[in-house]
Amino acid sequence: VQTILDGAVPMLLVRGQLSDLVSAANAEEFLTRFPQVEFVDVAGAGHMVAGDRNDIFADAILGFLARHSA
């Protein structure tokens, strides 16, 4: 857990702007605490981003993996 908190593990937060579980304020708080986290805020998606905007979700995941593949 400490390795993750120290930023040695790449992380991506994908949030649907219409989410009823992860508010914009919660996302901002998380990103303030962990500024190394990449963030994608998806318009037109609720909490289930992959179901609501699969195109954007897939692009975010594939891009993240491409940037962090060894």
Which of 37, 38, 61 has the alpha carbon at shortest distance from 49? Answer: 61
Per-residue pLDDT of the chain (70 residues; tens, 9 = 90+): 677 777 678 999 999 999 999 999 999 999 998 888 999 999 999 999 999 999 999 999 999 999 999 7
Contact 4, 34 (CB under 8 A): no
**What is the domain extent for residue 17?**
2-68
Burial letters for 42-64: b for 16+ Cβ neighbours within 10 Å, e otherwise? beebbeebeebbeebbeebeeeb
Q: Is 4 helix (H, G, I), strand (E, B) or coil?
A: helix
pLDDT of residue 1: 62
Report the CATH number at residue 59: 3.40.50.11320
Split into its structural domains, the chain has a count of: 1
pLDDT of residue 4: 73
pTM: 0.86
